[in-house]
Amino acid sequence: MTAPLRWPLHPPPSDGEALSSWLTRIAAAHHIGLEELLANNLGNYTLDIFDSTDIDIDPPVPLLIALQERTGFHRGELHRMTVAGHMPWLLDTLEPSDDPDAFTTYTRQHQVLIACPDRPSPPTHRWRAWLPRAPLYRACRACATEPHPVPGLTLLHYLPITLTCRRHGCYLDVIHRSVDTRILWVDDEAEPRPAPPAVQLMDQRTHDALTDGIVQLPRRPVHAGIWFRLLRTIIDELSTPIIHSRRHSHTLSRIWASIDQPPRGGQLPWRPFESLAWPAQQLHLEAAAATIAMLEDGSIESAGVHGALFRTEPHCPINDGRTPTPETRSASTTTQPIDRWKATADNLNEVIALARSDPAEAEKLYQFLSLRPNREHETRQLLTDLRITDYPSSHNPDRDRSCTVE
């Protein structure tokens, strides 16, 4: 049996390049179109089930095998150039779902701006995380005008999950699509637009998640799967109708005002982010970047327990081992005895003061005091007497241990 012939020209894919972009460049190198390359040059693997519109989402395995034989690149590498190659980190499943639980499982397992949301599951139709209803094609104008530009378009250029080019820090612009290796711009006259640092930082973290699998946050590194869901949670919280955001509506309004937009970006009927048109998706990503920046610089407080990931760990001095602590000083060097009851009372007063101003600290105090069996109601009453009412479990009295303390 004769082995399949290699294509004469098959340039290597660039960093993060989408599969369709790479195949378009291969076709251009042979002076043919992408459809002709796939229809007439894959031998027995040109199947009727193949749909070129899904090539960057979930191409058939026979296609990947055929591409491996004709280019020498392992099909595992080619799989990573598609959305399916990043499951289950980027999204849980590629199957569109009408089940509201599929939406809430992905977007509401974390809480950042809204504490323990008790919101009804929204109706969804054929929902998939991050995948737009209509194809999205974008490119970087600065990359296109370089003397020796990096070839190809990345997978992130096709998903509404970033706003900028990682190399130049400018906004990606919508294109009709690339023909051969030429880019057809929707607006030929526009110039590259630099993005704010907050947007660039958010997009850098998303790129790190897709390429390295780890994202560095102020509190600690998190897995890529956590980052994608945290980001989608923030977007969901930003689009929460006022009737459900209630006491958090002021914070949400401040965030939208920071990018000169009305609450929810002016969106009237609620629709999931993936169903919005690209301009509306762009506003939500801008607001998400502003949210993260405001959490990190302390401009806003996070009511959700996972907002702490965007705050640095409090400084905790460590004894150098040479300086004696009050507990280890000898009686001859201790001028006054330690009043342990006073120290306990001082610590308790400090905890109560923190709990009054920080819902996350209040939730920790509630969880500690309610360790005794069947004492949740008494604990809530005690905290109410102490004027501590703003903590996640106070809004879900019928759901014991509903929040996770970070």
In sequence order, the β-bridge partners of residue 222 are 215
Instruction: Give the number of other CB atoms < 10 A from CB of residue 317.
Output: 5
The highest-confidence range among 125-134, 237-246, 338-347, 349-358, by mean pLDDT, is 125-134
Residue-wise pLDDT for 263-277, tens only, equals: 999 998 999 999 999
pLDDT of residue 403: 43
Instruction: Give the number of other CB atoms < 10 A from CB of residue 238.
Output: 26
Residue whose pair of structure tokens reads 């799989």 in the numeric block: 79
Confidence label for 84 from pLDDT (cuts 50, 70 and 90): very high
Q: Which of 146-150, 285-289, 292-296, 397-401 has the lowest mean pLDDT?
A: 397-401
Mean pLDDT of 182-201: 91
- The structure tokens listed for 302 are 């996070």
Query: Which residues have CB under 8 Å from 287's CB, separation 6+?
Result: 235, 238, 255, 256, 259, 261, 265
Pick the residue with more confidence: 402 or 102? 102
The answer to whether the pTM exceeds 0.85 is: no
What is the residue extent of each domain of the chain?
19-86, 138-310, 351-406
Confidence label for 189 from pLDDT (cuts 50, 70 and 90): confident
Confidence label for 118 from pLDDT (cuts 50, 70 and 90): low
Using DSSP's 3-state secondary structure scheme, residue 179 falls into: strand
Q: Is the model's pLDDT at 43 over the cut of 80?
A: no
Residue-wise pLDDT for 381-401, tens only, equals: 888 878 788 878 777 665 444
CB 343, CB 254: distance < 8 Å: no
Q: Is the model's pLDDT at 345 over the cut of 90?
A: no
Q: Is the model's pLDDT at 368 over the cut of 90?
A: no
Mean pLDDT of 95-115: 92
Q: Is the model's pLDDT at 1 over the cut of 50?
A: no
Using DSSP's 3-state secondary structure scheme, residue 215 falls into: strand
Q: Is the model's pLDDT at 191 over the cut of 80?
A: yes
